[in-house]
Amino acid sequence: MKKTVPEKIKPNKLWISDNTLQLAKKKRQLKQRRRRSDAMRQQYKQKCRETRSAARRDKQICIEMQCQHMEHCASNGRSKETFRLVKKLCTGFKPRQLVDSSFPLLSYIANDEVIGRWTEYCSELYKGKQNCSTTVADLISIVPPQREEREIDILFEEVG
């Protein structure tokens, strides 16, 4: 008989305990059977509640351990590590913004306003380069002509 090594379940978050992982595994198994009856649905909902509360408990324990570590570092005079831990606990996730915040993309609804704003934005990008007046003129020349709302599109069947 060939022996295999069982797959080790690795949590996405380091603070999640093995008990919580087991609850999540049972919850996933119940999720597949939840539509069979009302009793199964209630059992699945109960397991969801248990998993959420276990995850909250694990997170709270992790935060308390970090606070104890901060207090230990502060009492030993390791201020750099203390402030690093405080910053890690107090600051939330902040994604990097790729677009300038003064460029509100979603506020422009009309098509001609969108085209005008993109032309303005692209011309700002090329201002530092040489021959910028021709670049802006090229950008303006490639803007598609404005359509009137009552104009009807040509269907593919009409052409063939």
Q: DSSP 3-state assignment of 62?
A: helix
pLDDT tens digits, one per residue of 50-73:
999 999 999 999 999 999 999 999
DSSP letter for each residue of 19-76: HHHHHHHHHHHHHHHTTS-HHHHHHHHHHHHHHHHHHHHHHHHHHHHHHHHHHHHHHT
22 neighbors 59 (Cβ within 8 angstroms): no
Sign, CA dihedral 104-109-114-120, equals negative
pTM above 0.75, yes or no: no
Q: State residue 91's pLDDT score.
A: 83
Calpha distance 77→69 (Å, rounded): 12
pLDDT tens digits, one per residue of 87-138:
888 887 777 766 555 555 555 456 677 777 777 777 777 666 555 566 667 7
Q: State residue 10's pLDDT score.
A: 74
Residue 141 has pLDDT above 60, yes or no: yes
Q: What are phi and psi of 45, to 5 degrees?
A: -60, -40
State the DSSP code for 142. Answer: T
Q: How much is the mean pLDDT over the chain?
A: 78
The three state secondary structure string of 7-25 is: CCCCCCCCCCCHHHHHHHH
Q: State residue 27's pLDDT score.
A: 94
Q: State residue 92's pLDDT score.
A: 78
Q: State residue 90's pLDDT score.
A: 86
Q: State residue 108's pLDDT score.
A: 43
